[in-house]
Each structure stands twice: as C-alpha cells, then as structure tokens.
Structure 1
Amino acid sequence: MAVYNILILFLLLLLFSLSTAQPSADEQTLLLAIKQDWDNPAPLSSWSSTGNWTGVISSSTGQVTGLSLPSLHIARPIPASVCSLKNLTYIDLSCNNLTGDFPTVLYGCSALEFLDLSNNQLSGRLPDRIDRLSLGMQHLNLSSNAFTGDVPSAIARFSKLKSLALDTNRFNGNYPGAAIGGLVELETLTLASNPFEPGPVPKEFGKLTKLKMLWLSWMNLTGTIPDDLSSLMELTLLDLSQNKMQGQIPEWVLKHQKLENLYLYASNLSGEIGPNITALNLQELDLSMNKFSGSIPEDIANLKKLRLLYLYYNNLTGPIPAGVGMMPDLTDIRLFNNKLSGPLPAELGKHSELGNFEVSNNNLSGELPDTLCFNKKLFDIVVFNNSFSGVFPTNLGDCKTINNIMAYNNHFVGDFPKKIWSFELLTNVMIYNNNFTGTLPSEISFNISRIEMENNRFSGALPSTAVGLKSFTAENNQFSGELPADMSRLANLTELNLAGNQLSGSIPPSIKSLTSLTSLNLSRNQISGEIPAAVGWMGLYILDLSDNGLTGDIPQDFSNLHLNFLNLSSNQLSGEVPETLQNGAYDRSFLGNHGLCATVNTNMNLPACPHQSHNKSSTNLIIVFSVLTGVVFIGAVAIWLLIIRHQKRQQDLAGWKMTPFRTLHFSECDVLGNLHEENVIGSGGSGKVYRINIGGKGSAGMVVAVKRLWRTAAKSDAKSDKEFDAEVRILGEVRHINIIDLLCCISGDDTKLLVYEYMENGSPARGLPRRDDGGAPTAPLQWPTRLCIAIDAARGLSYMHHECAQPIMHRDVKSSNILLDPAFRAKIADFGLARILAKSGEPNSISAIGGTFGYMAPEYGCRAKVNEKVDVYAFGVVLLELTTGRVANDGGADWCLAEWAWRRYKAGGELHDVVDEAIQDRAAFLEDAVAVFLLGMICTGDDPASRPTMKEVLEQLVQYDRTSSVAAACRDDSGGAPSFSKGKKDGKGKSSSAGTTAGKMWGAGTGDEESGSFVAHPV
C-alpha cells in the first residue's frame, strides 16, 4: 500500500539521517555495560572498542542516539542500563523473541521518540501508566504481540504521536476512542486484528484530520460508517474490513479525493454500490464478501488509477460495465460468486496490463475477448461455472505468462490452442465439461501438474512425456492408440483416469514405474492382453479396468494391493480369483468374466473352481494343530527371552544417562522403574508411550509422558547417536507456549527415552465424532474450541518454521500429535520425525518416507528432498478434520480426506454440508467453518510452492472470527484461556487474506504481492 510504503520510507530516512559515526569513548563504556547486563546475547558479540557496533546509531559528536536491533533472535529481557544512554531517541527491537510483560525499564529513556517492539511475544496488559514513557514519543509500534485487556487511556498524553500501531494482539477489552481522538498529530493508526469488545467506530476519530492510514479491520466493529470520518481528507487508506458493520457506503467515501485504498470486505454492508464513484485517486477497491446487490455502476470506469477491483461474494447482477475494459491501470479483477450476466467488455486487457482475471460462478456468456493477454502479462484465467461459448482465443497460445487456466463447466468449442501445453509457467489446466477438440503434443510442459479435461472431444494419441504431471483425468474423450510404451516419463502421476476413450493395445509392463500412482481408471476402452503382474505391486487404492478386452488370469500379485475400489468387470478374464480378493468387499468387481471362479468364497457371483480337495477338513485340522504347536513354542521362547531381558535391564540400570532440559525433581531411576506395560497409553511406528506418575505411593507426584524409541540398528552407532543427541538438544531448548515441553532425554546402550510434560485432555481426535480408533466417544468439540486448537497449533508450527534460531520441520503433524492441556490449549507434540533445517527454507534430505498415511504430502513419494511445506500439507488435513469431523483416512471409498475435500469442492454448489453436524449452533459458525475448510484445501495443494507458509496460515486463522471474541468463546466452551495468535502485517501494512472463496492456489500466479491479498482457488 502506498501510504504504508511512504511511512516506511519516512522511518528509513529518519534512521539514515542520523550519522553512524563511532560512539565516543564514554558512550562505548556504556554500551559495553549494556552488553554485559544483557547477558551477552549473540547479536551483540561484535560490540567492543575495536569491533563493529552493530545496530548502534551515533551522532556526529559520538553520542548514541539509536539502537536498531531487529530480527536478531533476542530473547533476554531489556536491561535497565539501556536508558543510561541519555541521548537515546530511537529503539527498534522488532521481530525478536522478547517475552513477558511490557518492558517498563524503558520509562527511564527520557528522550525516546521512536519505539518499535512489534513482532515479539510480549504479553499481559499494557500498564495503566504507560505515559511514563517519554511524552515526546512520535512513533509507538506494539503490533503483533500478545497484549490483552484494555488499551490504557493514558495513551492520550502522547500528544506528539504521529504513528500508533497496536494491531494484531489479543486486546479483548476496550480502547479509549475519545483519548485516541485527541492525538491530533496522528498520521497512522492501526488497531486491527484484535478481539475488542463490540462497538461502533468512535466518532472522535473524525478529529484526526492528519490521518493518512486508518486500519480497523477484524476488531468487532458494529454499526454504520460514521459521517464524522468525512473530515479525514488526507486519508489514502481506509480499511474497515472483516467486521460486523451494516448499512451502505456513505457518499463521501466514494467521492474522497485522496483515497487510494478502500477495504470494506466482509463487513455485512448491503444495498447498492453508489452510482457516482469519483474517488479519483483510488487504486485498490475491495468491497468483497458483503451483501451488495444491484449492478456495478458505470461510473466505476472513472477510477482511472484503479489497479485492483475486488467485488467477489456479493449479489451483484447485470453486466460488467464496458468501461471496465478501458481502465488503464487495472491489473487484477475478481468478480467471482455473484450473479453477473452478459458478455465481457469487448477490449478487456487491451488498455491495461491485465494479470489476474477471476469471474467464476456467475451467469456470464458470450466469447472470451481476444485482448485478454494483449499486453503479455496475463497469468490467471478463472472463468469456470459460467455460460461462455465460442472458441478459446487462439492468441492465448502466445501468452506464455499463463500459469493457471480454470475454464470448466462452460460451452467452449473448437480446438484448444495446442501451444498452451508447452508453457513453462503453466501448472494447472482445468477445462472439463466443454466441447473442446484438438490433440495433445507428445511432450507436456514440465511444470504442468494437473490436467482435468474430461467430457470434451479431444482425440489423437496420449502424451508420452509429462514429467511434472500428477493428476491427469481425460475421461469421455476420443483419444486412441496405445498407452505409451515407456511410462517412466509419466512417473509422477498420482491419478490417471482415461475411461471412456478409444484406447487399444495392452497395458505396458512399464506401468510399474508409476510408483506414486494411487488411482488408475482405464475402463470403457478397447484394451486387450493380460494384466501385468507388476500392477499388483503398485500403491493403488482405486483400480478400474472394466469394459475392456483383457484376457488371462488375475495375477496372484494382486494379493499385495490394499484397494478401496476394484472393478475388473466385463472383460474375458479366467482362472481363480486370488484368495485375498474373495470377500464381500469385491462382490461386484468381477461380473461379466465367465472364466473366473472362486475357491474360498462362492457367494461372490462367481462359480466354484473345479477339482477342490475332498480331504479339505483333514488338511485344515493338520494346519490348525501345527499352528497351535508353533504358538505354544513361540510363547515359551518369548517368555524366556523376556526373563533374560529383564535380568539384563536390572544389571544395566547404572548405565543410563539423563540429559535434562528443564529443572527437574526426579531422576532416571524414577522413570525407568515405572516403564510397565500397564502404563502404556500409546504405540506407534517409532515407539511406545507411557503415562508415569513420578511421585511415590500415596502421593500425587508429577505425571509425565515417556516415549520409548524403537531401536533402528543392530547396535548403537556413535555417529548417529551424536546426531540424535544434537537434534534432541535443540528440541529441548525450544520454549513456546504451543509446543510441548521436552523435559529430558534418558539414554541407555540400546534404548532412548524422551520425557515430556503430560497433556491430560489428549488430542483433538477424541472430540471428533467420526473416530477411527475404536475408542469410546466423547462429547464433540464445539467450533470455538476447534478454532482455538487450530490457532494454537498453527502458532506452534509457525514458531518452529520461522522463529527458531534453527528452523525445525516436524514431518509428522497430525491430530494425534496435537495435545490439549486442562484448559484445552493446544501444543505440538511428538518430534520423533522432526528434522532441523540447516537453513531457513532449505530442503531436507530424507532416506525414508516419514509421517502418517492420510497426512503425507504427495512429494514424499517422488522427491529426494522435502521442505517445511510437508508440515503445511499435514496441518491442512488437520483443518479439514476439525471442520468436517471426518478422519484423515477412514479406510472407505473416500480413502484420503484431502482428496475427498477436493472432489466435494469440484462437485460445485454450497459447501455448508461439509461442516460437521455435531457442532452445536452450527449455523452461527457456518461461514467461518467453511472458510477454514477452504484454507485446509489450499494447504493441501499438490504443488509445495503453492501452499502458504505456516506464518500465512496463522494470519488467516486469527482472522476467521466474525461471531464473537474467540478468546471469550474458548473460555465459555472449555474453561480455558484466550487462544488468539500473533499475526503479522504484510509489507504493505494490510493483513494477508485467503478469503472464503474457492479460487486458485495460494498466491501462485496471483501476482498480488502489492495488495497482500491471497484469494485462492485450491487445486
């Protein structure tokens, strides 16, 4: 945003206008004392009389006037000696790890004019006497912390204040509107993203006539936009979005001469958009997610400087004004989910560098203008669910900037431009349910990961090379010829659907190279020959080869498959069906194969195989007797081994070593003596978990959770032990309210124990109705608690990825690894698969696939290196679980929740039915739950680069509260403390927003870095 950029520029000029001369000898002495009092944090290691005074700003006379120490991971409290620098006017400690209450030691800095403590972890209430800071304060930034309670009225005494930033905290009381209205020098005021008590916009803000930026989104505002704000003639940014305001937009807003950015989305504003929009400087107009009706006014074309036009999710009708096509600066158009009709403006894209174009879910008709990519900047075409017709503009074949095409469910005809398939930036082509014709090239662009083109009239041969393709659905077309002989050049496919074409020939043996494939549908073709045995060793969950001319036996290797759906009907198969497939789950899978028979289960619409043994009962008795004898023998051996092992464990007790990470009041013997089977509360792929009461008999003591790790090697390896110890030490040093405390590590010759704090409320999975663990049902979690859990968990993961000195990748995020304390505060647990990233964003090598099925990102199976986006994918699945009540993998036909969610979205229509019916007062939270559901879909995108970061996910979750304070809801629902999370503004001063739209992938190809708005269609 322009205003925020100007503010940053002003601050930078202020900073660099100060001389950076060496501090005087006296000042150096004071700095060294500060360094010592600060307990020598690493960022200050260069401070010395012969060194580099990092972050120290000095005047030409050697007086220290500023300390600029942002983003240095400082966690130690600010020492009082900082204020021994009597000429100190500037302190910037933003983006560090400061914790605790507001640092009142700064009261001693009497000359302070600039204080920035934003993006830390400060908490508690702001002091009532905050005015004990220097009254000469001009810039006060406390945003993106965790402050609670009221904003103290003493803030009114800072009469020289030009910038006050209190956004993105947890203030849940009141703010002094009248007092803030008296700060007449203010140019920037941000109170956004706080769960304040509901109330209207203070009329006193109309006195702040020098304001250029007023950011009041997400703070429970009610009422209408007051006319008192009409006096703010210097405003260039007004953001009242995501509140509970009502009424219409006042005429003065639409005629404001200096306004550049207007954000009123999701504020329940209604009525028609004013017919005279004459704010001539308006550059960004966002009225989305409201209840506006009527048509888009023709006068909108008068906004000659408009770059972004967001009117999505309203009830707008009528055509898009022809003048929109003539606007010279318009680069981003988002009008989806309205009731717009008629054709698109004739010269749309000719007179501006149009980049993002989203008009899906309307009633638009006619042809796409051939000027859409006139200026060769178009990257996004999202026009699905309309009535567009005619041919796809041929010149789009020359628009190499396109990376996303979503044009399904229209009436397009003619050849689809063939050159599009070679675009290097293109990732998604979704054009199903049209009447397209044409052919595909033999080689598809390496970047294309999804092609959905079913129900068209494409013909010719299939492509033989598409190295990046993961999902290819081309059902009901006219493709012919054989499957590619060498399918290794399609090795990244996870879904292949070619049903209802004219394919012939046999299934090539090279199909075994599709090791990532989980769904294969070749039904309703003319494929012949035998089924390759290699199919039985693929990781398939869906296999449909019905209605072909396949012959021969069903390979016995099919016994290795774990299929949720199988259809081999209407072929010419013969022989005995493999025994593992002779069960009721597949009773309709073999119809129309007259040569097939069964030996185990003859109730499957199959005849019995001939020549069965007449002595079957005798054979069964021999088998049973042999098995029983073996079991008895093995049991005796097992008991003997357990006795020997127990004796050895007693002898080796003295060889255990404990490495503590907290102050502990127990020893390794207290833990080892309680590792009994009756204390086991869980078991997984990496070990058993015990619940242990450390106290003696008759004493409540301390309850801890102990994870006993399985051995992975025949004997201990010194190098791996050293690496393990180093990694565990880093995890042990992690301190965060939403990450479970690792208390200590206990190591023996062949065993390692990790001792954690015990979380008595278990995991969120216990409160979801559709359980898959066979446990007794519990009262379902209600939406406010689910949202709190999501925010807490996101905060923990965001800290791991973005705020730790060495970023940490968890690699096994799932509902059962999110644990709840007595107040239902969520903490990330089980770092058994965690990996320390050497550098932020650096991919991490893996030697074996980690994680849990249903939560595992698709790149696990096809990439040698993964990054923290695998955690984002898994967390997206958790969000889907929390919103739908379903589990990640229920073993049914919808084997993967992420895939089910995508298919449900793809089916179209309202998404309200996806929300868990067990949520009481479901209607009140429906919009928020659907928004979180869509966010989960975005997180589970196939392309890691398209997924948001955990920091961005956290920012979105904090904002999904339009009903009441989430903090209050958490207390009402669980008795716990507030669970709001710290967010952070983007570089333009406005929170990123995914919105509740079903749009394209997160930010991928939106080009919307300027606005910071991420409106995403999950793919």
Structure 2
Amino acid sequence: MGRKVSWTVVMFIIITVGEMKTRASEVCNPQDLKGLTAFKAGIHVDTSDRLKKWVGHDCCNWEGVSCNNKTGRVTELLLPGLFVTEEGLPFQSEMEGRLSPSITLLTSLEVLDLGGLISLAGTIPPLIGYHLPNLRKLYLNGNNLSGPIPESIGKLSKLEELGLYENHLGGRLPRSLGMLLNLSKFLVCSNQISGPIPVSFTNLTSLVYLDLHSNSFTGHIPDDIGSLQKLEQLDLSSNLLSGKLPMSLTNLSSISEMYLDTNLLEGEITFPSRYGDMPSLGFLRLHDNHLTGPIPPAFGNLASLQRVSLANNMLEGAIPSTIGNLLSVTELYLNGNQLTGQIPTSISQLSKLLSLTISYNLIEGPLPHEMSSLQNLQILDMSFNRLNLSSIPKWIGNMSSLCRLFLAESGMTGAFPEFLRNSPLQYLDLSANHLTGSIPPWLGSMTSLYSLNLSRNSLVSKIPDTITNLQYLGVLDLQSNQLTGPIDQVFNIASMFPLTYIDLSNNRFSGGLEVIDVGLQSSLGYLSLSHNHLTGRLPVSIGRLGSMTSLDLSYNGLSFNLPESLGNVTSLANLKLQRNRFTGEIPNGFLKMTKLRDLDLSDNLLVGEIPFGKPLSDFPVSSYSGNEGLCGNPLPPCKG
C-alpha cells in the first residue's frame, strides 16, 4: 500500500512540474510583460494591427514574440515594418509613437527587430548594453530615431548583426525589400541618428554585419576598427565622417563588403599593407570623399575584388600597372579624380570586366590596343580626359558586348565613324568633340539605340529620315550644332518614339509649331528648342504634355497669345519663353502650375495684369521684365 502511495506521489509531482513548465512558457514573466506593455503604450498608430492582438498575460503567444520554453523569458521580438502576410504578400506597415526605454526590461532578449516601421521615434535606450547582454541581432533601421548611439552598446559582447540605417524615412520604403525580409542580417541606418561612432564599438568582437549608412554620424572612424576580426560587411556610407582611413582596416581579415563612400574622409588609401591582407574583400566603395595621393601599387593585391569605386575623390598620379592583377573585377570606377598618364596595358588582363569608367580625369591617349581583348566589356566611359583621339579606335567597333560608349570631349574630328554602322550600342555619347559633316543615313541601322548624344559638335544638314528605325530611342541630344530643316519634320520623326528627353537647342531649325501634334509626346519630360529660328504660335495641344517638367522655347520668333491649355501641364518645374514675340495676357491657367520653380517670360510683347497668386507672384521682376504692357505683382501696380 505504501509503495502505491509513493508511486502516486511521484506521478503527481511529475505531472505538476510538467504543468508548471507549460504555464512558464505561456504566462509572461512579469518583468517582460511590463516591458512589452510599455512598448505597446508608446505606440499610437499600428497599421498592421499586430499590437491589437497583444491582450491577456500569455505574451509568449503574442504575434512577434518568442520565448524560451524552459525559462519562459522573451528571447525574440520581431515586429519589422515590412513582412509577409498570411496570404504570402509583402506588406509595409507603420508604427507611430516612441520607442519606450522599458524595452530593456526584456533582459533575456537575443533578437530585436523593429526595423522599417517608418514613424517610430525616440532614442536608442542609453543602458541597452547593460540590460540586454544576450543580444545577437539588433534591427532599428528605417525609423525616425534620433540622438547618438549610447556608449553602452559596446557591452553587447554577443552582438553579431547590427543595423541602424535610414532612420527618418519620411514614409519611404526601405531600399531593398529583400534586405528586410532576410532576417540573417541586421542593418542599421538613419538620417537622424548623429554624433560620433562610439569608440566602444571596437569591443563588439562578435560582429559579422555592421550597417550605419545614411545617418548623420560625425567624427572619425574608430582607429581600432580592425579589431572586429569576424566582420564581413561594413557599411558606414552616406554620413559626415571625416579624418583619415584607419590603418587598422587592413586587419579586417574576414571582410567581404566595405562601403565607406559619401563621407568627408581624407588622406591616402592605406590598405592593403601587404600581400594576403583582406583576402575576401569583394565589394569596395570609397567614392565621394576627399581622398588624395596615388592609387597604391599594393591595391592590386586585393585579389578577390569584384566591384570597386574610387570615384569623385582627389586621387592623382598614374593608374598602377598592378591594377591588372585584379582578375576577378567586373566593375571599376575611377572617374572624377586627377589621374594622369595613359591607361596601363595590363588592364587587358581583366577578362571579367563589364564596366570601366575613368571619365573626368587627366588621362592621355592613345587608348591601348590591348583593351580590345576585353570582350566582356559592356560599358566604357572615357569622357572628359586629355585623350586627343582624333578618331574612335576601330577595335571598339569589334567589341560585341559593348552596349554603352561614352567618349565626350575626346578630341575626335571628321565624320561620324562609319564602323559603328551595325553596332549593338544602346547608349552613345560623342558630345563636345569636333565632328563635322552630316548625320549619316545609316544611323538608322543602330536599331538598339536608346540614348544618342551628339551635342556640341559641328554637324550640319537635316536629321535623316532613317532615324525612324530607332524604335527604342528615348533620349535625343543634338544641341549646339548647325543642324537645319523644318521643325515639324523633326517632330514627325520624334512622335514615333517613346522619347522622354529632346534637346535641339542652339541649331538652325525653322518653321512653326502649330502643325505639330505634340499630344503624341505624352511621355516627354524635357524639351528644349531654344536658340533656333522657330515662328508661329504655340499649339493648344501642348497642354497634353502631362509628363513635362522642363520646357525651353526661348530665343526664337514665336508669337501670338500664350495658350490657356499650357497651364494644364501641372508637372512643369521650368518654363522658359523669353526673347520671343508672344502677345496678349498671361493666362490665368498658369496659376495651376504649382510645381513651377523657374519661370522666364521676359522680353516679349505681353500685356495686362499678371494673374495674382502663387506661383506667379513668387518670381522676381526679371521673370517679367521687357514686357512694357505688363503690370501687377511683382511689377508695379496696374494703373486705373
């Protein structure tokens, strides 16, 4: 009998302990419940309605909350702004309110994801490093947070992924849906988080991902950042960081992506210091800084580089021949520096190269013939150097993969190069050269062209009718040549394409616009016909240019009244009609152009009172001067 009682007691204890464990996993720890309740109380708007479901005391069953089954403590709080609904569709939500510092009561928290909630304000809790010692992943990106990163963050010794990027989004979606859906990374980014990067960051030796881009961080990159030996991705771009590149960067032995661009960094490139440094570095961005000095020869030791941008700095000297050692590189951007000398022949070794941009430097010609071996090259931009090519090297015409060629201001002379006749080019820029003769009829055989820029040359004659074969043409820039012909012929051609940009200014086109059905150009956003010999009136159909943002018809002989319908082009930001012979009053419909930022109606024959109200009253006197019959704000009041 005694034995039966003993077994009964044992079974009772087992069942009781099991129930206690079950309740432990269902009933919230009081401290965690207090922290979550305070967080919810700080949110006034939740467009996802997830917080509405936070009722009762079983917080481990609340949406976005996960607990440890043994301890019952909250270990994960996952409430990203961008998530997948039960129907499998992406949904961008928003939470308006302030981040409660009571979130640090969740002392067993390992993962905190409050990224991309757009309107979540407040600061990062000052004591976060002391109260959340188990944090491995922290996501606060894409919010409206402000203030500095607390020094205590250096106490998060287990932190592997940290993201604070793009706070104060103002309603914009995060830059990558996939980046937020992939919870294997915690990226940190903000435009309001400011102050220096805490020196204590260098204590986060477990960090694998660190992303602080697009904030207002100032000061220097911590000197000992190289102590983060496990760091694979570092993004400090688009901040206000200054000072030199830390020497310790070369110690980041695991780094594969490093983005330090768009800051105020200065001095020389300090890495790598020896062969074998940074062996996994594949993506490097240092552009838009104030870096000086030469590209170090040791740069060629970064054998894993695939994409590298050193653009828009103050780098000088010759491109080192060791650049040819970057055998994995696919994109190389060196534009906007002060590089001199010639392109090294070793560049021909970059067989995987897809894009090469060295524009806006002091590079001299000729281009080495060895570059013809770059048969995978798709983009070549050598514009605005000191090449003095005289003509395009013929081997360029044999590069079957080349689809974008930019050779502006390269010293070319003579006729349009005929070996481009059957080229697969989609973008061609030969502007600011000395090309002469006419645009050849065979231009129509370049049927892949989307953008054609032949501006600032000495081309003559008419635009050939064969241009109608360019069915994908979207950008046409022929300004500052000596082209002739009736403008209606030009527009009859242009009306056949989905053109978004036309600049035919500073030529000798003639005729009137009234016969042109500009309504066909509904996609047109930019049109400049200034400094030609155009006459006649503006057609009423111009009001159907619903996508137009810039219209320049200045310095012509256009006349008659301005059409009321022009006011229907409410997308206009720039309108220049000066130096014509327009008569009559300014239409009241112009008041509808609320986006107008630049207006010039000067030197015409306009009369009457300027319609009162914005935006017309905001422009200076110069916008209306030279019209003796005009009056009213901002001109003197009308008489009588």
Aligned residue number for residue 294 of structure 2? 272
Task: Call closer, same or farther: CA 1:422–1:893 in 2, change over 3 Å.
Answer: farther
Matches of 1:139 and 1:340, distance apart in 2 = 47
Aligned residue number for residue 262 of structure 1? 284
**Displacement of 1:245 after TM fit?**
3.1
**Structure 1 residue 191 corresponds to structure 2 residue 212:** yes
Matches of 1:888 and 1:358, distance apart in 2 = 43
Aligned residue number for residue 102 of structure 1? 99
Aligned residue number for residue 93 of structure 1? 80
CA deviation vs aligned residue, 1:542-579 (integer Å, no higher than 9, x gap): xxxxxxxxxxxxxxxxxxxx9632369xxxxxxxxx8x
CA deviation vs aligned residue, 1:820-845 (integer Å, no higher than 9, x gap): xxxxxxxxxxxxxxxxxxxxxxxxxx
Q: Which residue identity does 1:566 align to in structure 2?
A: N
Aligned residue number for residue 412 of structure 1? 435
Q: Which residue identity does 1:208 align to in structure 2?
A: L
**Displacement of 1:25 after TM fit?**
12
Aligned residue number for residue 231 of structure 2? 211
Q: Note if contact 2:429-2:452 (Cα within 8 Å) is conserved in structure 1.
A: yes
**1:958-973 pair list within 5 angstroms:** none
**Displacement of 1:181 after TM fit?**
1.5
Aligned residue number for residue 385 of structure 2? 362
Aligned residue number for residue 570 of structure 2? none
SS at match of 2:308: strand
1:381 to 389, 393, 405: 405
1:236 to 256, 261, 272: 256
**Structure 1 residue 43 corresponds to structure 2 residue 48:** yes
**1:805-824 pair list within 5 angstroms:** none
CA deviation vs aligned residue, 1:820-875 (integer Å, no higher than 9, x gap): xxxxxxxxxxxxxxxxxxxxxxxxxxxx9943262499xxxxxxxxxxxxxxxxxx
Aligned residue number for residue 266 of structure 2? 246
CA deviation vs aligned residue, 1:598-649 (integer Å, no higher than 9, x gap): xxxxxxxxxxxxxxxxxxxxxxxxxxxxxxxxxxxxxxxxxxxxxxxxxxxx
**Displacement of 1:294 after TM fit?**
1.2
TM-score by length of 2: 0.65
Aligned residue number for residue 519 of structure 1? 553
CA deviation vs aligned residue, 1:741-797 (integer Å, no higher than 9, x gap): xxxxxxxxxxxxxxxxxxxxxxxxxxxxxxxxxxxxxxxxxxxxxxxxxxxxxxxxx
Task: Call closer, same or farther: CA 1:236–1:175 in 2, change over 3 Å.
Answer: same
Task: Call closer, same or farther: CA 1:854–1:196 in 2, change over 3 Å.
Answer: closer
CA deviation vs aligned residue, 1:895-929 (integer Å, no higher than 9, x gap): xxxxxxxxxxxxxxxxxxxxxxxxxxxxxxxxxxx
**Displacement of 1:362 after TM fit?**
1.9
Q: Note if contact 1:486-1:510 (Cα within 8 Å) is conserved in structure 2.
A: no
Aligned residue number for residue 478 of structure 2? 453
Task: Call closer, same or farther: CA 1:46–1:378 in 2, change over 3 Å.
Answer: farther
Larger strand fraction of residues:
2
Aligned residue number for residue 623 of structure 2? 890
Matches of 2:442 and 2:73, distance apart in 1 = 68
**1:157-196 pair list within 5 angstroms:** 157-167=155-165, 168-169=189-190, 170-177=192-199, 179-196=200-217
1:290 to 310, 313, 320: 313
Structure 1 unaligned blocks of 5 or more: 1-23, 54-62, 69-77, 524-530, 542-561, 569-577, 582-684, 687-847, 858-877, 879-884, 895-1019
Aligned residue number for residue 493 of structure 2? 465
Q: Which residue identity does 2:247 align to in structure 1?
A: D
Q: Which residue identity does 1:441 align to in structure 2?
A: D
**Structure 1 residue 311 corresponds to structure 2 residue 331:** no
1:440 to 443, 460, 464: 464
Matches of 1:349 and 1:850, distance apart in 2 = 55
Task: Call closer, same or farther: CA 1:254–1:335 in 2, change over 3 Å.
Answer: farther
Matches of 1:409 and 1:330, distance apart in 2 = 27
Task: Call closer, same or farther: CA 1:496–1:213 in 2, change over 3 Å.
Answer: same
Q: Which residue identity does 1:187 align to in structure 2?
A: V
Structure 2 unaligned blocks of 5 or more: 1-21, 83-92, 166-188, 546-550, 567-575, 600-614, 628-640
**Displacement of 1:476 after TM fit?**
4.6
Q: Note if contact 1:465-1:490 (Cα within 8 Å) is conserved in structure 2.
A: no
Q: Note if contact 1:324-1:345 (Cα within 8 Å) is conserved in structure 2.
A: no
Task: Call closer, same or farther: CA 1:225–1:484 in 2, change over 3 Å.
Answer: closer
TM-score by length of 1: 0.43
Aligned residue number for residue 125 of structure 1? 123
Matches of 1:203 and 1:316, distance apart in 2 = 29
Aligned residue number for residue 920 of structure 1? none
**Displacement of 1:274 after TM fit?**
1.2
Greater RCO (CA < 8 Å, at least 6 residues apart): 1
SS at match of 2:122: strand
**Displacement of 1:497 after TM fit?**
5.4
Please report the RMSD computed on the Cα atoms of aligned residues, expressed in angstroms: 4.9
Q: Note if contact 2:48-2:94 (Cα within 8 Å) is conserved in structure 1.
A: no
Matches of 1:45 and 1:230, distance apart in 2 = 45
**Displacement of 1:414 after TM fit?**
5.7
Q: Which residue identity does 1:451 align to in structure 2?
A: L
SS at match of 1:354: coil
Matches of 2:62 and 2:303, distance apart in 1 = 40
1:852 to 594, 599, 623: 594
**Displacement of 1:424 after TM fit?**
7.2
**Displacement of 1:475 after TM fit?**
4.8
**Structure 1 residue 114 corresponds to structure 2 residue 111:** yes
Moved more, 181-190 or 443-452: 443-452
Task: Call closer, same or farther: CA 1:86–1:249 in 2, change over 3 Å.
Answer: same
**Displacement of 1:242 after TM fit?**
3.1
Task: Call closer, same or farther: CA 1:86–1:886 in 2, change over 3 Å.
Answer: same
Matches of 1:143 and 1:25, distance apart in 2 = 35
SS at match of 1:324: helix
Q: Which residue identity does 1:308 align to in structure 2?
A: E
Task: Call closer, same or farther: CA 1:364–1:65 in 2, change over 3 Å.
Answer: farther
SS at match of 2:339: strand
Matches of 1:324 and 1:539, distance apart in 2 = 59
Q: Note if contact 1:284-1:307 (Cα within 8 Å) is conserved in structure 2.
A: yes
1:564 to 537, 556, 578: 578
**1:726-737 pair list within 5 angstroms:** none
Matches of 1:319 and 1:380, distance apart in 2 = 22
Matches of 1:230 and 1:352, distance apart in 2 = 33
Aligned residue number for residue 332 of structure 1? 355
SS at match of 1:363: coil
Moved more, 33-42 or 267-276: 33-42
Matches of 1:216 and 1:465, distance apart in 2 = 48
Matches of 2:63 and 2:447, distance apart in 1 = 47
The share of aligned pairs that are identical, in percent, is: 22
Between the two proteins, the alignment pairs up a number of residues equal to 506
**1:930-1009 pair list within 5 angstroms:** none
Larger helix fraction of residues:
1
Q: Which residue identity does 1:263 align to in structure 2?
A: R
